[in-house]
Amino acid sequence: MKMTKNEIKNLIMEIAEYKEADIACSDNLIEMGIIDSLMVMEIIDYIEDKYQMEFPPESIVPENFESIDKLYEVLNKILP
Amino acid sequence: MLLGGINVKISILDYLEDNLNERQDKIAFRDDSREVSYGNFIYRAKQLATYLLEREFRNITVAIYLDKTVDCLEAMFGCIYSANIYCVLDIYSPEDRIVTILNTLNAKVILTESKYLKDILDIGYEGVTIIQLDEIANDISENKLLECRRKIIDQDPVYVLFTSGSTGIPKGTVVCHNSVINYINSVIDIFKLDSTTHFGSQTPFYFSMSVLDIYANIFTGGTFTIIPKLLFAFPVKLISFLNDYKINTIYWVPTAMSIVANRKTFSAVKPKYLKCALFAGEVMPVKQLNYWIDNLPNLIYANLYGPTEITDTGTFYIVNRKFENNAPLPIGNSFPNSEVILLTEENQLAAEGEEGEICFRGSFLGAGYYNNWEKSQEVFCQNPLNTAFFERIYRTGDVGKYNERGELLYISRKDFQIKKAGYRIELGEIESNAQSIEEVKDCVCVYDSEKSKIVMYYTGNISEKDFIDLLHTKLPKYMYPDVYIKKKVIPVNSNGKIDRIQLLEEYKNENDKE
């Protein structure tokens, strides 16, 4: 099972309570201040819960949460 | 040699300046954009102090509107050098809360940087001088500083630190030089901190836990590195950061330590230099602590306990045995120069093994709440066991008891104050803010401590979404309720009081079904 880019976007927008403009898949979420450290954890918790898996510790690095594109790429590798 | 022939250490500044001989060029503080030596840190603090003194700002409260940076630390010490009382604001908290704090302080000066000027003007707090630190580059006037310094005694206040208040108005604890000095000296002694100590700082400067690492650093001449907040979402990076900077001491909230444990971080990277892990602020879950101990058995682990009102903490427990995952970790015994007394409802000393309110006596006690005599006198009061002379105690409102080993155990709160993610929250403050929304009729918050969830029950003609949106404009994020439940009526008990116990049980039962 995989997450689509749209699902990832909706999840991020919901967790970040981000309602303003649309987020582009290449936007840098951390630099733009859309997500902070707490939200990253909420995202991880949500995905781990939904897919009954654990993120390998090495995969939890800022680079992988930089953008929707990047997260999509990572999830493709680690989701069951 | 201290001041003009005086050889007694009086203030925090005397401890800071001990570093001038040997550690002039040693890094004192570091953040992600700069680092500062002891020599330059003192220079900058004196420069800011001179600026304030030249404008006749002395013995007043000064609010600091800055993020967690080295600049903020310099501003704090600029206030100390000019005998002003600093109060570090949480710049991410809602405007209403900041205004309430500024009003309580009657703040006449705000120290900030030009990039925050617009935010401060938007708050709309009148009659205040805003000083932008990035524009200050005056000369130091040693004469003015000396004149000011001579009048400082150790019972003069250093800072005001705000915590949540049940009436919806935050309370600002005033803490004096002597309290910080006595507390820090005890901490240094117990945990054997010295100039080789390198703190990795996690807690915000508007939170009492930061008093320990900031001042222990200055008193020992160690180094203090601010850990970027974002790293706490990325535990592997976080531990690598500790290794990169050779950080050997941490004093974190249990939530931060748990993140590392929950992500099984040590299978990827282990801290190489860490010697001492201290924690406080909320109950440390033993499961996560055991993960640390199993992976890093040679560290000193200590559970500290205490409120902002006694500077930071008053008891400590150095973990010296194995605990089962569901066993409570003791809060231990008093620090030297501090004493716990457990008082029963009748103001008697609790008998062996009996529960009582945890009260503290000793010089860690703060000087009460700023501009709040009523609340101050209620909790900073005469020791009821002493009828012969003045002796103040602080009543924490926490209930505790001693176990058979003579170690103090924390049982619960007397009132409705809770601890969540290290933050002290009065449920009443959330309620009174919710109540202030016109469409909300009744509301009550309960706290499910097992799941760490704040549950908001409410009645009124308002949608959940609108309620959340409005409430979020009034509260700092850590106070946001996790669950909202709309009711037709809020249940009351036989005394006509809101039945919190019933609500909490209702919530737990509903939740268990799922």
pLDDT for residue B115: 96
From B232, B268, B472, residue closest to A37, measured CB to CB: B232
Task: Report d(CA B258, CA B390) in Å as an integer.
Answer: 43
Helix (H) or strand (E) holding B255: helix B254-262
Decide if B478 touches A, using CB distance below 8 A. Answer: no
Which domain range does residue A20 map to? 5-78
For the domain that residue A15 is a member of, what is the CATH number?
Answer: 1.10.1200.10
- Which chain A residues have a beta carbon less than 8 Å from that of B267? 57
B476-513 burial, b for 16+ CB within 10 Å, e for fewer?
bebbebeebeebeebeeeeeeebbbeebbebbeeeeee
**Is the Cβ pair B230, A61 closer than 8 Å?**
no
pLDDT for residue A39: 84
Instruction: Tell me B369's DSSP state.
Output: B
pLDDT for residue B490: 78
Q: Which residue of B has its CA nearest to A62?
A: B234
Which of A14, A36, A59 has the highest number of chain B CBs within 10 A, making it the mutation to test binding with B?
Answer: A36
- Which chain A residues have a beta carbon less than 8 Å from that of B236? 57-58, 60-61
Q: Which residue of A has its CA nearest to B259?
A: A41
pLDDT for residue B168: 59
In 3-state terms, what secondary structure has residue B279? strand
Q: Measured between CA atoms, how close is B238 to chain A, in angstroms?
A: 10
Decide if B153 touches A, using CB distance below 8 A. Answer: no
In 3-state terms, what secondary structure has residue B302? strand
Which domains can be identified in chain B, with CATH numbers?
420-513 (3.30.300.30)
pLDDT for residue A36: 84
A-B Cβ pairs (cutoff 8 Å, strict): 43
Cα Rg of chain B, angstroms: 23
Residues of chain B with pLDDT under 50: 1
- The interface predicted TM-score (ipTM) is 0.83
Secondary structure (DSSP) of B261-277: HHTTGGGT---SS--EE
pTM of the model: 0.84
Instruction: Tell me B349's DSSP state.
Output: B
pLDDT for residue B496: 55
Which of A60, A63, A66, A70 has the highest number of chain B CBs within 10 A, making it the mutation to test binding with B?
Answer: A60
pLDDT for residue B3: 59
Which of B115, B203, B230 has the highest number of chain A CBs within 10 A, making it the mutation to test binding with A?
Answer: B230
**Is the Cβ pair B233, A41 closer than 8 Å?**
yes
Q: For residues B120 and B63, is the Cβ–Cβ distance under 8 A?
A: no
Q: Measured between CA atoms, how close is B234 to chain A, in angstroms?
A: 5
Q: Which amino acid is at B372?
A: N
Q: Which amino acid is at B227?
A: I
Q: Measured between CA atoms, how close is B384 to chain A, in angstroms?
A: 44
B42-53 burial, b for 16+ CB within 10 Å, e for fewer?
bebbbbbbbbbb
Q: What is the mean pLDDT of residues A53-73?
A: 91
**Is the Cβ pair A57, B264 closer than 8 Å?**
yes
pLDDT for residue B1: 42
pLDDT for residue B484: 94
From A30, A41, A55, residue closest to B259, measured CB to CB: A41
The total number of structural domains in chain A stands at 1
In 3-state terms, what secondary structure has residue A16? coil
**Is the Cβ pair A57, B233 closer than 8 Å?**
no
Strands B109-112 and B171-176, how do they pair?
A: unpaired
pLDDT for residue B461: 84
